[in-house]
Amino acid sequence: MVQIVKSANANPVFRALADPTRRAIFEELTRAGEQTVHALTRYAGVSQPAVSKHLMVLKRAKLVRHRRAGRETHYRAQADALAPMVDWLNLYGAFWRERFDRLETLLERMD
């Protein structure tokens, strides 16, 4: 189980990404780069007002940025907003503890 550092800064990010649709939108922006609200609506499979609402939440958490071009609004992911969430020591701590469990099981099985 991966542990995540809980800091005051991280909470809006957690909350924004707790919703599966928002998470999908954010992942899509991370994968595919900047996109219009229209394109995201097609991708997300929900109504455009719903997508706009989700984008507002992501924007408040500083996970996305937007720019207007003509009648279209383009959104892009701000992946560094995730930085406060990641702590290598915690990630590897969980990793090694789990591996030590497996090592213990292996030692039991060895002759």
Which residues, listed in sequence order, are joined to residue 4 by a DSSP beta bridge? Answer: none
For the chain, give the longest Cα–Cα distance.
72
Q: Which stretch binds other proteins (CB under 8 A): 42-50, 53-61, 67-75, 79-87?
A: 79-87
Kindly state whether residue 60 participates in binding other proteins, applying the rule CB under 8 A. no
Kindly state whether residue 100 participates in binding other proteins, applying the rule CB under 8 A. yes
Q: Which residues contact 69 (CB under 8 A, 6 or more apart)?
A: none
Kindly state whether residue 80 participates in binding other proteins, applying the rule CB under 8 A. yes
Q: Which stretch binds other proteins (CB under 8 A): 1-9, 40-48, 53-61, 68-76?
A: 1-9
Contact (CB, 8 A) for 51 and 25:
yes
The CA distance from 36 to 62, in Å, is 17
Contact (CB, 8 A) for 58 and 64:
yes
Kindly state whether residue 56 participates in binding other proteins, applying the rule CB under 8 A. no
Q: Give residue 26's Cα distance to chain centre.
A: 6
Instruction: Return the residues of window 14-43 that contact other proteins according to CB under 8 A.
Output: 14-15, 17-18, 23, 27, 31
Q: Which residues contact other proteins by CB under 8 A?
A: 1-2, 4, 6, 11, 14-15, 17-18, 23, 27, 31, 79-80, 82-89, 91-93, 96-97, 99-100, 102-107, 110
